[in-house]
């Protein structure tokens, strides 16, 4: 369709009511770590980090935490001004920051800011880069162009004309707006400007132009202080695209989709589709936590994942993603999707396509899916009101709606009038129990009522309920299968069944028997497209094959530990399971599951009993304890975005390390550092990592491995910080990878080589010294040992020589002793006869003298032999002295 024709039809189309699309936003403010709630500019760099300019510094966001850059008077490399107005990234991945004090350039490798020397002052509201890499700057309403190749700045003279807006078209053409309502397009071929006086074309006073956004090569959206206009430069026409929207004080324009544009204004976000003419206004809703947080919108940015970032003046950052908007939310608030209660129990669809929602705390609601309109029905004294606010069973039966209450019986409502026309209860004898738990209509058009007193069948002809004599237990759920067999889930007694083909019986927990239920509290029974029955219990999910009569439990993703409330099957054969801990999508063929929680857009992870519906158009509805959600399962395809993974922080001994700072081993940013060297006393490390997927960063997963230390990969969930305490000296490689919300892993690892240096006493030089000392010590020990052994051997030789001499000496002594013995014996024998001769020859003097001489010498010889023998005894240590008195004079006389 011709765009101009679409614009002309817009004012007609906008008059017709239609269901507004729901938009749900995540919000980041100062409480989340942002430096200021006033967001002036937004940018995503080539690596994938989000940057937010504020009135109080520059913020870098990785999906989990903000890193703030502010001016530090003590640091000449800090940001020069905290008031950031504009952001741009050049071809070298350097960030250009426009402030109230000129332009600063951020180098991500060193994490340092330097002032752009050619523009050291001025209010820089716009910075943008064209396809040739030139940087266009609006400083103090003056236009300049920096040529990156020549490093020259060219300032364009404007006389009294002030440039107030700047934008780059898809073909690379720069467009500018001036204060006189003139648009300028720079002609690169001619190096000149082409002028378009849109104020003259408009023919009326044109408000101050705030922003221009190229739609095509020849059309632009122009946002002013009063209106949003579409300018066709080829036809020289100007059209008001929102003629019925009143005054629109536009600040920023974003192309969300091919024909859809978001306009940030003083009064919210105006969404227009130039092709269909659809218009919607998003504003802050004080009772809606998912709405935008502020109506004053100053900046937009669409990231690599398709998410939209919205910068507000007072409410911080709002983030929109279609992936987070797949679950439509219905909860109590003053809005078009507001229902009357939180505890949604029963949901059903009538023949008109209306969705009826019964709550346990605030009555009944009717949803018209076509218009989104919700009508609430509350108990009251007015005739036709429902009996009670706590509803458990709802069933549409033609133009009638059966409404089961807690202890107030059963209401019958006329759907056309919305009035209750009859109440059945024990008071009038029409029911034998007032606590209605479940309602079901069989293929034979029979109404079945499940209560805690058993099951009752409605007799239409007699307008009364009759007890079923088999199903007398506390009933939770009723289902009729394809063979018209009735299946009843009970509270504490398992599953009961009755049919013409199978008879009647019971399936329950049987201790010690495999293939039985593990829990007898059955919340719901569901039949899939293959005629299998699914039993939702208080302790897991079970599939019952009616042909084989076998039960298969499904325990993946902790299903056995969860309360399971309801199961619905989509067109792909996947089972959607509501539990007490989130919504699971189960593939019965593989057993694979994916869990969805509040992180993915649920109202609550706690779903409610027997609360689920698949409408005629394939939309699923589930009730939770905080309202109801609806979604189209076909919208959940496989995620294909693979997030880059970075090491974003390094802490050593619990101290954050920054590049080129005192005490830091980083010569450049940790994201650019391929390796680091650490002293031995700085080996207690922690790393912060981030996978740059912003849809559900809380659900991003990581795996890491320290090569040289770890034995296997470690997976992380809900944690981005990795700790290592006192790594031993050595070489390591830290490896990390991650996945986004779709569980698509980035197999390209991020690595960091780490060397932990040993202490000086453990260095190679120290070990060389230790080796030298040991060698010298061993040599000294060996030398002294050798000397000692030599001395010892010498002494041994001396001892041997002495012993030899002693042996010779003893031999001599022994010889002389033997000789002395041999001599003494004859002398003794001579002495006795000689004494006798002396006695006989006393009278013969001459002979007596000779004999006396002989005796004397004999005694002398005997005395000498005795002395020799005594010497031998002395040598043998067996000699003791015997002292006698003697006259030494006579001894001398004898000798001399």
Q: pLDDT for 65-120, tens place per residue?
A: 999 999 999 999 999 999 999 999 999 999 999 999 999 999 999 999 999 999 88
| Nearest-angstrom CA–CA distance, 535 and 173 | 63
Yes or no: say if 438 and 404 are a contact pair by the CB < 8 Å rule: yes
Is residue 791 a part of any domain in this protein?
A: yes
Selection from 323, 327, 369 nearest residue 617 by Cα: 369
CATH value at residue 497: 2.130.10.10
Is residue 248 a part of any domain in this protein?
A: no
Yes or no: say if 135 and 115 are a contact pair by the CB < 8 Å rule: no
Is residue 862 a part of any domain in this protein?
A: yes
Selection from 550, 517, 510 nearest residue 536 by Cα: 517
| Nearest-angstrom CA–CA distance, 104 and 102 | 7
Query: Tell me, what DSSP letter sits at residue 380?
Result: -
Highest mean pLDDT among 667-681, 740-754, 867-881: 667-681
Same structural domain, 607 and 705: no
Is residue 816 a part of any domain in this protein?
A: yes
- The per-residue pLDDT for 13 is 39
Average pLDDT, integer, range 570-596: 94
Q: What are phi and psi of 293, to 5 degrees?
A: -90, -5
Same structural domain, 738 and 712: yes
Same structural domain, 779 and 868: yes
- In this structure, the number of other CB atoms found within 10 A of the CB of residue 808 comes to 10
pLDDT at 814 over 80: no
In three-state secondary structure terms, 40 is strand
Question: What is the chain's alpha carbon radius of gyration, rounded to the nearest angstrom?
Answer: 53
Same structural domain, 499 and 515: yes
Selection from 206, 200, 215 nearest residue 169 by Cα: 215
Confidence of residue 645 (pLDDT cuts 50, 70, 90): very high
Yes or no: say if 543 and 554 are a contact pair by the CB < 8 Å rule: yes
pLDDT at 613 over 60: yes
Same structural domain, 112 and 132: yes
Least confident of 345-349, 394-398, 548-552: 548-552
> Kind and range of the H or E element at 373?
none
Least confident of 526-535, 655-664, 698-707, 873-882: 873-882
In three-state secondary structure terms, 228 is strand
What integer best gives the mean pLDDT of the chain? 90
Q: With pLDDT > 90 as the criterion, what percentage of the chain qualifies?
A: 69
Selection from 439, 487, 7 nearest residue 235 by Cα: 7
Q: What is the pLDDT of residues 407-423, one digit of tens each?
A: 999 999 999 999 999 99
Q: Please state, in angstroms and as integers, the Cα–Cα distance from residue 231 to each residue in 12, 199, 245, following that order.
A: 21, 11, 18
Confidence of residue 10 (pLDDT cuts 50, 70, 90): very low
| Nearest-angstrom CA–CA distance, 132 and 126 | 18
Same structural domain, 605 and 487: yes
- The per-residue pLDDT for 189 is 81
- The per-residue pLDDT for 891 is 63
Yes or no: say if 79 and 35 are a contact pair by the CB < 8 Å rule: no
According to the 3-state scheme, what is the secondary structure of 141-186? CEEEEEECCCCEEEECCCCCCCEEEEEECCCCCEEEEECCCEEEEE
Q: What is the pLDDT of residues 725-775, one digit of tens each?
A: 999 999 999 999 999 876 789 989 999 999 999 988 888 888 899 899 999
pLDDT at 8 over 50: no
Confidence of residue 143 (pLDDT cuts 50, 70, 90): very high
Is residue 587 a part of any domain in this protein?
A: yes
| Nearest-angstrom CA–CA distance, 653 and 683 | 8
Q: What is the pLDDT of residues 448-504, one digit of tens each?
A: 999 999 999 999 998 999 999 999 999 999 999 999 999 999 999 999 999 999 999
Same structural domain, 768 and 746: no
Same structural domain, 545 and 486: yes
Supply angle C-alpha 346, 348, 349, rounded to 5. Answer: 165
pLDDT at 219 over 70: yes
- The per-residue pLDDT for 878 is 57
In DSSP terms, which residues pair with 50 in a beta bridge? 44, 61
Yes or no: say if 487 and 496 are a contact pair by the CB < 8 Å rule: yes
In three-state secondary structure terms, 49 is coil
CATH value at residue 682: 2.60.40.10
By residue range, what is the domain housing residue 666?
Answer: 645-758
Same structural domain, 891 and 775: yes
> Where do the H-state alpha helices sit in 540-688?
none
Same structural domain, 606 and 556: yes
- The per-residue pLDDT for 393 is 93
Average pLDDT, integer, range 232-246: 91
Same structural domain, 507 and 607: yes
Same structural domain, 481 and 616: yes
At 74, list the tokens.
């003590």
- The per-residue pLDDT for 690 is 95
According to the 3-state scheme, what is the secondary structure of 523-539? EEEEECCCCCEEEEECC
For every residue of 347-361, DSSP letters joined together read EEE-TTSPEEEEESS
Chosen domain end from 584, 602, 635: 635
Chosen domain end from 120, 136, 157: 157
| Nearest-angstrom CA–CA distance, 708 and 288 | 52
In three-state secondary structure terms, 647 is strand
Is residue 94 a part of any domain in this protein?
A: yes
Is residue 370 a part of any domain in this protein?
A: no
> Does residue 520 come out as left (phi exceeding 0), alpha (psi in the -120 to 50 range) or beta?
alpha
Q: Which segments of 350-484 are extended strands (E)?
A: 355-359, 364-367, 374-377, 391-397, 400-405, 410-414, 419-424, 436-441, 447-451, 454-459, 464-467, 475-480
> Kind and range of the H or E element at 878?
none
Q: Residue with structure tokens 């008109």? A: 352
Number of separate domains in the chain: 4
Q: What are phi and psi of 348, to 5 degrees?
A: -145, 165
pLDDT at 799 over 50: yes
Q: Please state, in angstroms and as integers, the Cα–Cα distance from residue 754 to each residue in 674, 675, 679, 718, 723, following that order.
A: 9, 6, 11, 26, 14
Least confident of 272-286, 485-499, 509-523: 509-523
Confidence of residue 179 (pLDDT cuts 50, 70, 90): confident
Chosen domain end from 122, 157, 192: 157
Q: What is the pLDDT of residues 823-847, one digit of tens each?
A: 777 877 787 787 777 777 777 777 7
> Kind and range of the H or E element at 104?
strand 102-107
| Nearest-angstrom CA–CA distance, 523 and 438 | 10
Q: Please state, in angstroms and as integers, the Cα–Cα distance from residue 788 to each residue in 642, 780, 785, 791, 793, following that order.
A: 77, 12, 5, 5, 8
pLDDT at 243 over 70: yes
In three-state secondary structure terms, 858 is helix
Is residue 716 a part of any domain in this protein?
A: yes
The pTM score is 0.84
- The per-residue pLDDT for 875 is 66
- In this structure, the number of other CB atoms found within 10 A of the CB of residue 262 comes to 22
H helices, E strands: number in the chain: 5, 65
């Amino acid at each position: 369709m011709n765009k101009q024709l679409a614009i002309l039809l817009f004012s007609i189309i906008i008059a017709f009511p239609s269901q507004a699309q729901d938009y749900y936003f995540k919000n980041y403010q100062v409480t989340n770590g942002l430096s200021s709630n006033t967001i002036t500019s937004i940018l995503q760099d080539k690596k994938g980090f989000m940057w937010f300019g504020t009135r109080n510094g520059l913020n870098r966001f990785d999906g989990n935490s903000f890193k703030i850059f502010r001016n530090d008077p003590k640091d000449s490399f800090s940001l020069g001004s905290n008031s950031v107005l504009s952001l741009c990234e050049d071809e070298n991945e350097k960030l250009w920051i426009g402030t109230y004090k000129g332009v600063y350039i951020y180098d991500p490798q060193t994490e340092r800011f330097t002032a752009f020397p050619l523009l050291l002052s001025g209010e820089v509201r716009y910075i943008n880069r064209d396809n040739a890499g030139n940087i266009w700057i609006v400083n103090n309403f003056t236009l300049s162009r920096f040529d990156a190749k020549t490093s020259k700045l060219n300032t364009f003279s404007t006389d009294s004309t002030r440039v107030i807006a700047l934008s780059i078209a898809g073909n690379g053409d720069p467009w500018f707006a001036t204060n006189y309502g003139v648009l300028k397009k720079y002609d690169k071929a001619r190096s000149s400007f082409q002028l378009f006086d849109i104020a003259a074309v408009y023919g009326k006073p044109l408000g101050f132009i705030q922003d221009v956004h190229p739609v095509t090569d020849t059309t632009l959206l122009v946002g002013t202080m009063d209106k949003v206009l579409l300018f066709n430069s080829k036809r020289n026409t100007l059209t008001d695209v929102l003629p019925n929207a009143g005054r629109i004080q536009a600040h920023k324009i974003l192309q969300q989709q091919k024909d859809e544009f978001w306009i940030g204004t003083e009064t919210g976000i105006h969404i227009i589709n130039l092709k269909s003419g659809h218009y919607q206004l998003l504003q802050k809703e004080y009772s809606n936590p998912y709405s935008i947080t502020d109506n004053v919108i100053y900046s937009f940015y669409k990231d690599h994942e398709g998410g939209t970032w919205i910068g507000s003046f007072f409410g911080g950052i709002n983030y929109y993603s279609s992936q987070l908007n797949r679950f439509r939310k219905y909860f109590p608030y003053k809005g078009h999707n507001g229902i009357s209660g939180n505890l949604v129990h029963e949901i059903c669809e009538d023949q008109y396509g209306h969705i009826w929602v019964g709550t346990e705390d605030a009555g009944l609601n009717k949803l018209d899916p076509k218009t989104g309109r919700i009508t609430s029905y509350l108990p009251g004294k007015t005739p036709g009101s429902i009996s009670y606010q706590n509803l458990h069973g709802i069933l549409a039966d033609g133009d009638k709606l059966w409404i089961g209450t807690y202890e107030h019986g059963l209401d019958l409502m006329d759907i056309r009038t919305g009035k209750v026309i009859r109440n059945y209860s024990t008071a009038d004898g029409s029911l034998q129990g007032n606590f209605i738990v479940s309602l079901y209509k069989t293929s034979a058009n029979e109404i079945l009522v499940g209560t805690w007193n058993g099951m009752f069948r409605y007799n239409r002809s007699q307008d009364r309920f009759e007890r079923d004599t088999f199903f007398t237990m506390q009933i939770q759920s009723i289902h009729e299968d394809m063979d018209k067999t009735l299946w009843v889930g009970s509270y504490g007694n398992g599953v009961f069944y009755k049919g013409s083909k199978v008879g009647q019986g019971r399936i329950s927990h049987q201790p010690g028997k495999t293939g039985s239920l593990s829990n007898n509290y059955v919340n719901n029974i569901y039949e899939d497209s293959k005629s299998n029955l699914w039993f939702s219990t208080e302790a897991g999910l079970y599939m019952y094959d009616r042909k084989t009569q076998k039960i298969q439990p499904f325990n993946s993703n902790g299903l056995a530990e969860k309360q399971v409330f309801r199961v619905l099957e989509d067109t792909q054969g996947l089972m959607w399971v509501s539990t007490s801990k989130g919504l699971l999508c189960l593939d019965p063929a593989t057993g694979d599951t994916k869990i969805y929680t509040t992180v993915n857009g649920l109202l609550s992870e706690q779903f409610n009993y027997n609360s689920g519906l698949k409408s005629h158009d394939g939309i699923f509805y589930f009730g939770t304890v905080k309202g109801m959600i609806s979604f189209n399962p076909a919208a959940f395809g496989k995620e294909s975005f693979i997030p880059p993974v970075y090491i974003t922080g390094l802490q050593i001994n619990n101290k954050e390390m920054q590049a080129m700072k005192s005490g830091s081993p980083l010569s450049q940013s940790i994201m650019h550092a391929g390796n680091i060297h650490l002293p031995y006393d700085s080996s207690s490390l922690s790393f912060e990592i981030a996978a740059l997927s912003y849809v559900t960063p809380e659900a991003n997963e990581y795996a890491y491995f320290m090569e040289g230390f770890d034995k296997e990969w470690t997976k992380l969930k809900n944690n981005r910080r990795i700790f290592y305490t006192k790594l031993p000296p050595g070489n390591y490689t830290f490896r990390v990878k991650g996945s986004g919300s779709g569980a698509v892993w980035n197999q390209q690892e991020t690595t960091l080589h780490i060397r932990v240096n040993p202490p000086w006493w453990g260095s190679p030089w120290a070990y060389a010294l230790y080796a030298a000392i040991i060698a010298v010590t061993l040599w000294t020990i060996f030398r002294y040992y050798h000397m000692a052994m030599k001395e010892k051997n010498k002494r041994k030789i001396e001892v041997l020589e002495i012993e030899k001499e002693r042996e010779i000496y003893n031999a001599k002594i022994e010889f002389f002793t033997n000789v002395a013995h041999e001599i003494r014996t004859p002398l003794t024998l001579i002495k006795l006869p000689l004494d006798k001769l002396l006695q006989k020859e006393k009278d013969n003097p001459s002979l007596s003298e000779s004999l006396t001489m002989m005796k004397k010498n004999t005694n002398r010889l005997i005395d000498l032999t005795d002395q020799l023998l005594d010497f031998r005894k002395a040598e043998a240590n067996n000699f003791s002295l015997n002292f006698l008195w003697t006259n030494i004079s006579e001894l001398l006389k004898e000798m001399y």
